[in-house]
Homo-oligomer: A and B are copies of this chain.
Amino acid sequence: MDAMKNLVTAYSTREFLDRPIAEDTLKDMLRAARWCGSSRNSQPWNVIVIRDRATLRALAEIIPYGKHMASAPMGIAFAIEGAGRGQSLDAGRISQNVMLAANAHGVGTCISTIADDERDRQACALLGVPDGWSVRSFLSIGYPRPRTPEEAAAAKARPNRGRKPYAQIVSYERFGKPAP
């Protein structure tokens, strides 16, 4: 896939076919994870690949808005060492790189996150994540279930579907200043 096309087409997928992810695709997702940049090249992460159905179901219970993980053929949990703002930014970078690698292979993903400390502890306990680490971002991963024409029409009509216009999200030199 073309690099730019990949960057503007990585939508969320929440319903998946019952079909395992091709090994070459997983390999590329892990390659994208490994070569992702991070603050001072700290690479503060461990990428946990999950295919065990019981674990995926348990995570779907722990993660708010994570129900889609229960029926995904694969999941990834990003364990992150340290808990500062910088680590959250790095978690965003690696999530994005891995989602984009999946998208380049026609594989859909949906990211979900844990904000509160208690659920973080539950997820750490489930996955054996040690002290000093947290696990707050997750991907559900699979081939997208094709939509029926009715579903496609409903999705198109959803108000929250698109993106804000450029004038609302881009400024020049100072916040709110339009293009010269």
Contact = CB atoms under 8 A, between A and B. Distances in A.
Interface of A: 1-12, 28, 30-37, 39-41, 43, 45-52, 55, 65, 79, 84-86, 88-93, 95-97, 99-101, 103-104, 111, 113, 115, 127-130, 133, 136-137, 160-161, 163-164, 166, 168-177
Contact of A169 (B12, B33, B96): B33
Contact of A175 (B40, B41, B48, B88): B48
21 contacts: A3-B100, A3-B101, A3-B104, A4-B31, A4-B101, A7-B31, A7-B36, A33-B169, A33-B170, A34-B163, A34-B166, A40-B160, A46-B169, A46-B170, A46-B175, A48-B173, A49-B173, A51-B172, A85-B85, A93-B95, A130-B175
Chain copies in the assembled complex: 2
